[in-house]
Amino acid sequence: MKIAMVGTGYVGLVTGTCFADSGNRVTCVDINAAKIADLNAGKIPIYEPGLEELVVRNSEAGRLKFTTDLAAAVKDAELVYLGVGTPQGDDGAADLSALWAVVDGLAPHLKPDAAVVIKSTVPVGTNAETFARLREKTGRDCHVASNPEFLKEGAAIDDFMKPDRVVVGVRDPQVGEKLRLLYAPFLRTEKPFLVMSPESAELTKYVANAMLATKISFINTMANLTEKLGGDINDVRRGIGHDSRIGFAFLFPGVGYGGSCFPKDVRALEAMFERAGIDPVMLKAVDVINEAQKRTLLDKMTEFYEGQFAGKTFAIWGLAFKPRTDDIREAPALVLIDNLLAAGAKLRVHDPEAADNVRAIYGDKLTYCDQPLETLDGADALAINTEWAEFRQPDMNDVKRRLNAPVIFDGRNLYDRGLMQELGFTYYSIGRQT
Ligand code: UGA
């Protein structure tokens, strides 16, 4: 199939590249000329394992092209995928201005039988609004489908190639069949291809992310109680997880969720509730709990140092909002960094991929170390935000030797409490006793 993929952010680039890899001819479009020039030179604007290799391979095979020319990409396309950003607007709702600009721009060039497929995360009703807008611009009924994306940063290629399910929302069953064919190569393991109304498909995306965010805020709030009442949240997690109705996934306590999706999507869903005249009590709680959880390491440190941070130096491991990404959007580490800097502390930081993005914000206010152990030299304590694999088994004797004092604030429960005690560490973690 000939596909135009508009928007070369995370979702657009991965989707376009994976569709090219299954044999389609894909033209990716973006208004950012520098980004398109980089992509044409095989340079990938984000860190995502496996993506660069796939972009280069499919570009070399002539199946994947990058351009700023929307009209040229759309005029031959059978499917025009929209993967532009839908950031949080001032009122919490998704800002659709980029999407509308693209819809208006593509309308004059859309082939009569082509379908516009919305991949971006958009509020319920956007598909219908796109349909109406295209009718107004073209004078005819155009096909508009919704096909939400469920991939995770850091595992995006794998998630796209082996999805748990594919969801499409269509008005016309024929468009559903076309999309089924497009996805057939990715569903060979009998995972379901679910066809529903555009509204249900749009809602599915938000409900999935809100459910996952709720699980995280739920376990974090229980972890805070466990800390106060005694016990270990990891044991409680095991105790509940074996109940098959509950399970283990996405119930790891930590420093709160970040990234470009959960915070924004929870707030956008809140805005949809409000517009529907329903008080989004539960989602508000999920958000409030998460904002508080982002401060949990800071609170523990404030208690330990009685709020006296001036003249202290801290090592920080993990800046990205999660491992295997360089993304620092809404990352809990930034809350810790902002507050410790404001209180007069010096910070020595390390992240395997995200350091450059952090440097772009903080410049030389932080000391950047290439190696995790190097951050510890002369530091009064270590604080951990992200569970990168390389932080899991450091030589603890070396850690102790390098630190001024054997104190660790672990936001991801990476280490065995008993062992840390035996080694003589003061070890703070989440939902466990110190
Ligand atoms: C999330 C969803 O998992 C994807 O399915 C969805 O497609 C994507 O948003 C999106 O809407 O585009 P992502 O933001 O890449 O993906 O990251 P996750 O791996 O889901 O992690 C989100 C946050 O939750 C991270 O900060 C992580 O540290 C935190 N988390 C996750 C926990 O604190 N505990 C857990 O048990 C799991």
Structure tokens at 414: 């990476």
Task: Report, as residue numbers or ranges, the catalytic residues.
Answer: 261
- Structural domain includes residue 263: yes
The residue with tokens 């609170």 is 299
Q: Sign of the C-alpha dihedral, residues 203, 207, 213, 214? A: positive
Rounded distance from Cα 272 to ligand 1 centre (Å): 21
- How many structural domains are present in the chain? 3
3-state secondary structure of 175: helix
What is this model's ipTM?
A: 0.96
Of 333, 327, 331, 396, residue with least CA distance to 357 = 327
| Atom of ligand 1 minimally distant from the CA of 412 | 33
Query: In terms of residue numbers, what domain contains 326?
Result: 294-428
Running DSSP on this structure, what letter comes out for residue 150? -
Residues in Cβ contact with 158 at an 8 Å cutoff, skipping those fewer than 6 apart: 50
Q: Assess if residue 152 is contained within a domain.
A: yes
The answer to whether residue 434 sits within a structural domain is no
User: 349 and 367 in contact (C-beta within 8 Å)?
Assistant: yes
- Closest C-alpha to ligand 1, atom 5: 150
On whether the CB atoms of residues 318 and 394 are closer than 8 A, the answer is no
Q: Which residue in this structure is represented by tokens 């499917």?
A: 79
What is the per-residue pLDDT across 191-244, written as a single tens digit (0 to 9) for each?
A: 999 999 999 999 999 999 999 999 999 999 999 999 999 999 999 999 999 999
Q: Are residues 315 and 411 in the same domain?
A: yes
pLDDT of residue 372: 98
Both 47 and 164 in one domain: the answer is: yes
For the Cβ of 309 lying below 6 angstroms from any atom of ligand 1, the answer is no
Q: What is the pTM of this model?
A: 0.95
Tokens matching residue 71? 């009209």
Q: Each residue of 324-383: pLDDT tens digit?
A: 999 999 999 999 999 999 999 999 999 999 999 999 999 999 999 999 999 999 999 999
Residues 103 and 180 in one domain: yes
Structure token pair of residue 410: 């672990």
267 labelled binding-site residue: no
Asked if residue 422 is part of any domain, the answer here is: yes
Tell me the two tokens of residue 70.
């929307």
**Ligand 1 within 6 A of 98 CB?**
no
**Whether residue 329 sits in one domain with residue 222:** no
Residue in 257, 293, 410 to alter for ligand 1 test, most ligand atoms within 8 A of Cβ: 257
Is the CB of 10 inside a 6 Å radius of any atom of ligand 1?
A: no
Q: Are residues 183 and 222 in the same domain?
A: no
Does ligand 1 have an atom closer than 6 angstroms to the CB of 258?
Answer: yes
Residue 233 in domain: yes
Instruction: Among 292, 308, 329, identify where a domain stops.
Output: 292
228 marked ligand binding residue = no
| Residue ending a domain, choose from 156, 176, 195 | 195
pLDDT per residue as tens digits for the range 339-356: 999 999 999 999 999 999
User: 288: domain CATH number?
Assistant: 1.10.1040.10
State which of 151, 157, 385 you would mutate to test the pocket of ligand 1, scoring each by most atoms of that ligand within 8 A of its C-beta.
151
